[in-house]
Amino acid sequence: MADFKTSPGTRDILSPDSARWRAFQGVFESTVEAAGYDYIIPPMFEDLDVFLRLGEATDVVTKEMYDFHDKGGRHIALRPEQTASVCRAFVEHRPTTPWKVWYSGPNFRYEKPQQGRYRQFDQVGIEALGVDDAFLDAEVIALAAKFYSALGLRKIELSINSLGDSGDRDKYAKKLSEYFAKHESKLTAESKATLLRNPLRVLDSKREPDQEIIIGAPAIRETISNESREHFEAVLSALDALKISYKINDRLVRGLDYYRRTTFEFVSTALEAAHTAIGGGGRYDGLVEALGGPPTAGIGFALGLDRTLLACDAESVFAAPLKEVDVFVVDTVDGTHAHELCHQIRTHGFSADRAYDLRSIKAQMKAADRSGARIALIIGSNEVENESVMLRPMGSGEQYVVPRQDILNEIAKYTIKTNI
């Protein structure tokens, strides 16, 4: 027999974690919908070309893409992130601007799986297209900060930088290239290879020998235009106005090549070094144009769900919600009473569960405990004869008889109807 297991870098998310994921998405939804962002569901795969626009020098594109030819001969890729898809959707549908959307769902990257790094991982995020206003940059950053705080996270640090516009970035890449070339002999082999592809990426290296050289590297903000500098200052003062603390980090360039001007990253100081980055984003003013649309400003962020939950564990906050059901029906006669009663209870807007296969009363009561029910309704032959049920508030050690026709009123005393 084959021994089937999940593929490396993927996981089954079972209860109670799955309930925690849903609650996480729920908190995100209410945070961003309160700021006017609409839900978008982009497809999980696109023509490879859409993602190539992320920049052919990025690892996500060159090394980590799940791409294949479909039966129609199209070159397809599973999405490694969702910003490119949102921009492609903007070009395809031309919505009125500002277009503010949020998303939640899995992405796929062929990375080396480890704690906090998976091949299928979930992100929640927002994108806002068509507005260049520095207040929007600050709004986007503030929403991420608000979300983290709604989860209960406190040990979060925000780093921010400006990459200037695309001209500035090219000038900087050249300057950096010259600097690293001068110190090439001291760089690690990995960084030497990165240098050939994209000098900016060398700044991401956490390797000790590279760090010594990186510390002396020129900062991008020395090369940025006055316009970009003014924009950056306006973003910072808009953050100050909201009392959002940040650290300016001259070395923050982030993984994807399309970023322009404002770029930011959130780090959890409660996590171990390898996976402290729990979210980030920035402006990508050239991306819509690269996908065939009109010049359009854009800014957004993506927050890693998996890693943010690890940060929640590290701070002991945002536990999985308790499993709950209003009623658990215990039928020791023949199962038909539980069958009909559950149906009646559910039809009237309460939740109900039961045991199957006519287990012993002890086994059924254990199942009632596990279900998180507030009350158990117990039906034995006496109750059938008297057209009643025994109602036991769970954990109280008490029970009392309720006439069958009063059951719904009695249940209502213990629960709040939610889903009529």
- Does position 306 interact with ligand AMP (CB under 6 A)? The reply is yes
Prior bond to 16 cis, omega within 30? yes
Cβ distance to ligand AMP smaller for residue 127 or 306: 306
> Considering only residues 211-240, where is the footprint of ligand AMP by CB under 6 A?
none
SS3 for 247?
strand
DSSP state of 114: B
- Does position 81 interact with ligand AMP (CB under 6 A)? The reply is yes
**203: closest CA among 153, 236, 159, 165?**
159
Q: Which of 278, 311, 327, 352 binds ligand AMP (CB under 6 A)?
A: 278
DSSP state of 218: P
Which of the ranges 126-134, 276-284, 382-390, 392-400 carries the binding residues for ligand AMP, by CB under 6 A? 276-284
- Report which residue's Cβ sits closest to ligand AMP: 304
Which of the ranges 203-211, 277-285, 346-354, 386-394 carries the binding residues for ligand AMP, by CB under 6 A? 277-285
Which of the ranges 108-116, 235-243, 286-294, 333-341 carries the binding residues for ligand AMP, by CB under 6 A? 108-116
Cβ distance to ligand AMP smaller for residue 69 or 247: 247
DSSP state of 36: T
Rounded (10°) angle between helices 226-241 and 134-151: 40
Per the CB < 8 A criterion, the answer to whether 133 and 70 are in contact is no
SS3 for 361?
helix
- Does position 118 interact with ligand AMP (CB under 6 A)? The reply is yes
- Does position 11 interact with ligand AMP (CB under 6 A)? The reply is no
Q: Which of 255, 293, 335, 349 binds ligand AMP (CB under 6 A)?
A: 255
- Does position 130 interact with ligand AMP (CB under 6 A)? The reply is no
Beta strand residue intervals within 109-210, DSSP E? 120-129, 156-162
CA distances from 223 to 170, 174, 181, 253 (A): 10, 11, 19, 14
Cβ distance to ligand AMP smaller for residue 124 or 136: 124
CB of 356 to ligand AMP, least distance (A): 39
Q: Which of 164, 199, 280, 286 binds ligand AMP (CB under 6 A)?
A: 280
- Does position 109 interact with ligand AMP (CB under 6 A)? The reply is yes
- Does position 144 interact with ligand AMP (CB under 6 A)? The reply is no
- Does position 157 interact with ligand AMP (CB under 6 A)? The reply is no
**24: closest CA among 299, 217, 311, 271?**
311
- Does position 279 interact with ligand AMP (CB under 6 A)? The reply is yes
HSE-up of residue 254 (Cα within 13 Å, Cβ side): 30
CB of 52 to ligand AMP, least distance (A): 16
Per the CB < 8 A criterion, the answer to whether 49 and 159 are in contact is no
Output Rg (C-alpha) for the chain, integer angstroms: 27
What the block records as the tokens of 31 is: 């945070």
Q: Characterize 173-183 residue by residue with b for buried, 16 or more Cβ atoms within 10 angstroms of its Cβ, and e for exposed.
A: bebbbebbeee
Residues that bind ligand AMP (CB under 6 A): 81, 109, 111, 116-118, 121, 123, 255, 277-280, 302, 304, 306-307
